Structure 1
Amino acid sequence: MNQSQLKPYIIIIIEETHPVNFRSFVNILNKLNLSFVIAPDSDSAIFHAEYTNPDVILIPFNSNQGNPQETYHKLKQAKITKNVPVLWMNSYSQLNLQTLNSFMTGDDAFNPFTKSKDYSDYLPTDITIRSLKKQLQIQQELLIQLQAENQHLKRLASLDDLTQLANRRQFYNYLQEQWDSCEEDYLSVILCDVDFFKLYNDTYGHLAGDYCLQKIASAIETAVRRVREPEPYLVARYGGEEFAIILPYLDLENARKVAEEIQLQIHSLKIPHRSSIISSYITCSLGVACSIPSASSHLQELISAADQAMYQAKSQGRDQVQVAKN
């Protein structure tokens, strides 16, 4: 999120008897890029604070009217506003474009937001525009950090822990998105299953099996990226020793070439598998299917077609690519 999109939120306490040109005042506040609400008294300000979490409370000070001491103490006694900074402004006549420049640059030489000399005994001594801006900057940085952490959590929720590929949930989400966007165009899916993986785990142990899956995941990602980028695609761990690849806007023949590239990349790993019945190295069986999404077709049919092609590859000897029949 761009910091410029984050506006300081201010509650302004203006008594009904206070002389103020509201239109001019609101225009200046808008030029200062502030979000604000105007309250007629401290009780109303406390009420608004519960719902707005203000960054600061501003009290335009008129020494001839009202009781600023009572207002200040009420705000500091209320749980919701006791930690909110309070700024005092002496004169509305100082609110102009020069004020705007002063606020935006942090120049205190011309600062209308100063405490009243008549009430220096009980008004806070360390509240200035510069300290306010520093506090707002910290809050903005925390919000940006929180947003980044939320994005990180969302990313983790869409990834497979072991391989760091997209997980099954993300596979289906992405497939649905592409199904909707590829209407009247090609959408291909490849399913890939590691041959005799249970025997591999029984022979080498589950830690070795995990490492094997990580290597295969990386090989698949490398192969697809090599032939597909910059076009869109998704590589996912479909479950167990199965992987899935989504290839939007790609016809069946070219999807088959991607599957063959994956097969070659896995061969190049030369991961030993002495318990395999067909090879001394890890191999995979792959099924390829393609569809043109329309009102008369269904997404699940595409997955089922790729699944059937993959099992055909396994039943016909494994370590091969099979293409679904139209």
Structure 2
Amino acid sequence: MNEQQTQHNQNTILIVDDVTDNVDLLRSLLTRQGFSTQSAPNGAIALELAESTLPELVLLDICMPQMDGYQVCEKLKANPATRDIPIIFISALDELPDKIKAFKLGGVDYITKPFHSMEVVARIELHLSLRRLQQQLEQQNERLRAEVRDRRAAETALQLANQELQRLAHLDGLTQVANRRGFDNCLAHEWRRLSREQQPLALVLCDVDCFKRFNDTYGHQAGDQCLRQIAGAIGLATKRPGDLVARYGGEEFAVILPNTPTQGALKVADDIQLAIADLKIAHQGSLVSQFVTMSLGVAVITPLLDVSSIHLVTAADRALYRAKAEGRDRVVLEESIFKGSLPFRHESIVLGQVREPGNE
């Protein structure tokens, strides 16, 4: 129900008839019954009054000059402001086609002249009661629709809030990549999935070389900014939507690469090294370079359901340890495969320049 429909003049009836005696008779009758009345001698005035005053009901004659009652009814029903006003035709026409036409155009009732006073009052009261019941029902329906909209909006807001909480729960606040919880969940999911598909799963563990010295030299705020830049660079180097970059702890990052064989994992690790080098973050305290560098350990395994994903993490960690021990700023691959249900070391490959290991 629109706003205009709530503004109907209570107990006001619009009488539309070009015969003054008919209008006077109806006005006298309705006034005695407690109704307020308005009258219009032709269709044009009737349309103006109906739209401006919004009567509760219209008594409409059919035979009028220029615009007959049928045309007036059509125009009232075509106007959104007046289309719901009940219209009772009151006419001397008594043929069935006239009545059928009146109802087809939207009339709610048809009274023939000469009319009985009490019949007119009874029919008016009936249709006013029906109209008020209809308005109450529309108001209730609107309230229900509003409640449903509010409930849906609340449910949507709650769902979005929960999604945001889930995202934040798996996000590292400093670097805006996945945190350790996000890493663990992703690794468990991909391990199960690739166990079923029997496809390779690669893991790259990355550690910033001599990061304690960086903090000691430049301060912890600079260290935080360095980690944010490194996280962004690693993200640029991992281009597939299914890859996950996570802050594994401190200055250590992890990259999960689903459906990635050995050569693909090495290519990503190489791209990460190049991306870090392109940052050219000064590191005067480094034992390796004048800029920030990273050591990377890579492991590739085809998962099995009856074997824990810890074997992949252990293999990558072992490769990272060797990269640090053998001089830092390099990629070490430890590709592990399964023999039966137990993993064993398949091969170790060291990439990058060989440098003397430092004290950290």
1:221 equivalent in alignment to 2:235 = yes
Equivalent position to 1:240, from 250, 260, 277: 250
For residues 312 and 203 of structure 1, the distance between their equivalents in structure 2, rounded to whole angstroms, comes to 26
Amino acid at match of 1:294: L
Amino acid at match of 1:209: G
For residues 136 and 294 of structure 1, the distance between their equivalents in structure 2, rounded to whole angstroms, comes to 48
For residue 141 of structure 1, report the CA deviation from its aligned partner: 1.1
1:305 equivalent in alignment to 2:319 = no
Amino acid at match of 1:207: Q
For residue 220 of structure 1, report the CA deviation from its aligned partner: 0.1
Matching of residues 32-51 of structure 1 within 5 Å: none
Aligned residue number for residue 294 of structure 2? 284
For residues 143 and 300 of structure 1, the distance between their equivalents in structure 2, rounded to whole angstroms, comes to 39
1:172 equivalent in alignment to 2:187 = no
Amino acid at match of 1:281: F
The answer to which structure has the higher strand fraction is: 2
For residues 285 and 156 of structure 1, the distance between their equivalents in structure 2, rounded to whole angstroms, comes to 28
Amino acid at match of 2:231: A
Assess, with a 3 A threshold, how the Cα gap between structure 1 residues 128 and 296 changes in structure 2: closer, same or farther: closer
8 Å contact 2:192–2:305 — kept in the other structure?
A: no
1:254 equivalent in alignment to 2:268 = no
Deviation sequence 1:113-169 (CA, Å, 0-9, x none) = xxx969x9xxx9994322331232122112211111111111100101101111101
Assess, with a 3 A threshold, how the Cα gap between structure 1 residues 272 and 135 changes in structure 2: closer, same or farther: same
TM-score by length of structure 1 reads 0.60
For residues 109 and 164 of structure 1, the distance between their equivalents in structure 2, rounded to whole angstroms, comes to 58
1:212 equivalent in alignment to 2:226 = yes
Deviation sequence 1:39-74 (CA, Å, 0-9, x none) = xxxxxxxxxxxxxxxxxxxxxxxxxxxxxxxxxxxx
For residue 204 of structure 1, report the CA deviation from its aligned partner: 0.6
For residues 171 and 281 of structure 1, the distance between their equivalents in structure 2, rounded to whole angstroms, comes to 28
Amino acid at match of 1:186: P
Equivalent position to 1:188, from 202, 208, 232: 202
For residue 299 of structure 1, report the CA deviation from its aligned partner: 1.0
Aligned residue number for residue 10 of structure 2? none
Question: Of the two structures, which has the highest relative contact order with CA contacts closer than 8 Å and spacing of 6 or more?
Answer: 1
* Count of paired positions: 207
Assess, with a 3 A threshold, how the Cα gap between structure 1 residues 167 and 127 changes in structure 2: closer, same or farther: same
Gaps of 5+ in 1: 1-107, 111-115
Deviation sequence 1:227-265 (CA, Å, 0-9, x none) = xx25x2111000000000011111122201110100000
Aligned residue number for residue 142 of structure 1? 154
The SS at the match of 1:182 is: helix
For residues 171 and 298 of structure 1, the distance between their equivalents in structure 2, rounded to whole angstroms, comes to 15
Aligned residue number for residue 172 of structure 2? 160
Matching of residues 71-90 of structure 1 within 5 Å: none
Matching of residues 5-84 of structure 1 within 5 Å: none
For residues 292 and 252 of structure 1, the distance between their equivalents in structure 2, rounded to whole angstroms, comes to 11
For residue 296 of structure 1, report the CA deviation from its aligned partner: 5.4
Aligned residue number for residue 197 of structure 1? 211
Bigger Cα Rg: 2
Aligned residue number for residue 120 of structure 2? none
8 Å contact 2:217–2:285 — kept in the other structure?
A: yes
The SS at the match of 2:238 is: helix
For residues 218 and 193 of structure 1, the distance between their equivalents in structure 2, rounded to whole angstroms, comes to 15
Aligned residue number for residue 88 of structure 1? none
Amino acid at match of 2:140: T
Over the matched positions of the two proteins, sequence identity in percent amounts to 46
Aligned residue number for residue 320 of structure 1? 330
The SS at the match of 1:324 is: strand
For residues 271 and 292 of structure 1, the distance between their equivalents in structure 2, rounded to whole angstroms, comes to 36
TM-score by length of structure 2 reads 0.54
For residues 146 and 117 of structure 1, the distance between their equivalents in structure 2, rounded to whole angstroms, comes to 43
8 Å contact 2:205–2:320 — kept in the other structure?
A: yes
For residues 117 and 212 of structure 1, the distance between their equivalents in structure 2, rounded to whole angstroms, comes to 77
For residues 163 and 306 of structure 2, the distance between their equivalents in structure 1, rounded to whole angstroms, comes to 37
Quick check: 248-257 or 233-242, which moved more?
248-257
